[in-house]
Homo-oligomer: A and B are copies of this chain.
């Protein structure tokens, strides 16, 4: 177990917090609820951004940038949206500070009060639809397929690094379409982009589904989501894609002239993933010794630790490492040689395990004699002695194996913790033990809320690509008829 890291068994929540901080991913800042994303954590986020950005562009989207601030009155335009977002938020009321006339420092200049308060965006539907109004006149202006990489602020009371912070980084796609069908297809396309990203890059098996009414985005007709299981059996919502109908077009009066000249309201979607994905990545794969990163998102693929006693041995080992580093980099992987002279190799091993570097290579004097190196896998701790001619090839092959292995491990874990349940007693027991539970539900928000109050379990989604169970049954709570099982779990 890594130094200063609580084990998962002892306290899962503490283990997560320790890892984030000890692995140099992020830390709390002097501003309540706002985090500092440290270079190692940000490097992972940049890799995520880069892949997602490419996937968005391949599906026809373009990036743009909209204002940080939203006039207060905009939030009230869409009736449900205001309920969801005009609550805990950062409100800008003044635009000037002045020297404190009564003491040291600066104070707010009372004469610089804004006529209308500005809200730091919690999400950008309102400011964007107010902009789209000027961009859309005719069917020829549609579709509009924009994405924005931005920071947003929601004044959360209880915050946790990456999982729930007052400020977080995200992307938000906002699209405008001529028809309902096209907008629905877009919302589905983007949730599938997220699912593919989670599975192929994050090694994260996710369930794709539809949210119930009570879990929907405020202002959406339908919210699609991807849900992943963490190692404590809880669900984490990792991305959402919303079919917004004509709600925002009506709120901001955005109409287009059809081919035959009539005016119609525009159809909308929005979709986003955030730095919360970092939390999912960490919690899904890591162990008591630290992070386990999927190679496709690891900032450093290979770390090399030299073993030596004399200066002569040191320079021979480092010489060999530099040659191998060049070879491995040529194969497309990043390599770091840890040549710090004030630390013992055991300490270095622990530190790189903590940081989740997929492969470690050690070379000592005996390896030089034998023409070998020692390779250790982070995910399985397996060690192997490999001929130095085979190092680059072995590394390339290990990266694929690790990427697949940690997906499989997470997948098998989720399978072992997912069950169908037909009685409320069994439901409560399974939920208590950290299961994904597939159960019949009568479709009413009242039942959903009662189950939540009594068990803390929520309906994560009505699955549409995994665990799809269309069958007649009876609601575990009310006994009323139901035509399909939905997915319940406790959630982050």
Tell me the minimal C-beta distance from A181 to chain B in angstroms: 24
Given contacts A69-B34, A74-B30, A106-B75, contact A64 B39 (CB under 8 A): yes
Tell me the minimal C-beta distance from A54 to chain B in angstroms: 12
Is A347 in the interface zone, CB < 8 Å from B?
A: no
Contacting pair A43 B69 (CB below 8 A)? no
Of B91, B146, B150, which is within 8 A of A97 by CB? B91
Is A131 in the interface zone, CB < 8 Å from B?
A: yes
Q: What are the residues of chain B within 8 A of A95 when measuring CB–CB?
A: 88-91, 155
Q: What are the residues of chain B within 8 A of A31 when measuring CB–CB?
A: 67, 69-71, 118, 127
Tell me the minimal C-beta distance from A55 to chain B in angstroms: 16
Interface string of A324-359 (1 = CB under 8 A from B): 000000000000000000100000000000000000
Tell me the bound Cα distance from A109 to B325 in angstroms: 59
Q: What are the residues of chain B within 8 A of A155 when measuring CB–CB?
A: 95-96
Tell me the minimal C-beta distance from A236 to chain B in angstroms: 21
Contacting pair B68 A167 (CB below 8 A)? yes
Contacting pair A105 B76 (CB below 8 A)? yes
Is A119 in the interface zone, CB < 8 Å from B?
A: yes
Tell me the bound Cα distance from A93 to B110 in angstroms: 12
Given contacts A31-B67, A34-B69, A65-B42, contact A94 B91 (CB under 8 A): yes
Is A283 in the interface zone, CB < 8 Å from B?
A: no
Residues in A117-170 with C-beta less than 8 Å from chain B = 117-120, 127, 130-131, 134, 140, 146, 150-151, 153, 155, 167, 169
Tell me the bound Cα distance from A286 to B88 in angstroms: 46
Contacting pair B90 A65 (CB below 8 A)? no
Chain A, interface residues (CB within 8 Å), range: 35 or more
**Copies of this subunit:** 2
Residues in A274-289 with C-beta less than 8 Å from chain B = none
Is A469 in the interface zone, CB < 8 Å from B?
A: no
Is A221 in the interface zone, CB < 8 Å from B?
A: no
Residues in A154-210 with C-beta less than 8 Å from chain B = 155, 167, 169
Tell me the minimal C-beta distance from A4 to chain B in angstroms: 16
Tell me the bound Cα distance from A248 to B357 in angstroms: 35
Contacting pair A92 B120 (CB below 8 A)? yes
Is A380 in the interface zone, CB < 8 Å from B?
A: no
Q: What are the residues of chain B within 8 A of A72 when measuring CB–CB?
A: 97, 105-106, 108
Contacting pair B43 A127 (CB below 8 A)? no
Contacting pair B342 A167 (CB below 8 A)? no
Tell me the minimal C-beta distance from A134 to chain B in angstroms: 8
Given contacts A63-B43, A76-B105, A96-B88, contact A68 B151 (CB under 8 A): yes
Q: What are the residues of chain B within 8 A of A67 when measuring CB–CB?
A: 29-31, 34-36, 167
Contacting pair B96 A89 (CB below 8 A)? yes
Given contacts A91-B93, A120-B120, A127-B31, contact A105 B66 (CB under 8 A): no
Tell me the minimal C-beta distance from A218 to chain B in angstroms: 13
Some 30 contacts from A to B, beta carbons below 8 A apart, are A27-B131, A27-B134, A30-B74, A30-B130, A31-B67, A36-B65, A36-B67, A39-B63, A42-B62, A42-B63, A45-B65, A65-B169, A67-B167, A68-B120, A68-B167, A72-B105, A76-B106, A86-B106, A87-B98, A88-B96, A89-B97, A90-B92, A90-B118, A91-B96, A91-B97, A91-B108, A92-B120, A93-B93, A93-B108, A151-B151
Q: A36-B65, A42-B64, A69-B90 are in contact. List 12 more A-B contacts (CB 8 A).
A: A31-B69, A31-B70, A31-B71, A31-B118, A35-B67, A37-B65, A38-B64, A65-B169, A75-B106, A87-B97, A88-B95, A91-B96
Q: Which 7 A-B pairs have the closest CB atoms?
A: A34-B67, A39-B62, A37-B65, A91-B94, A76-B105, A95-B155, A86-B97
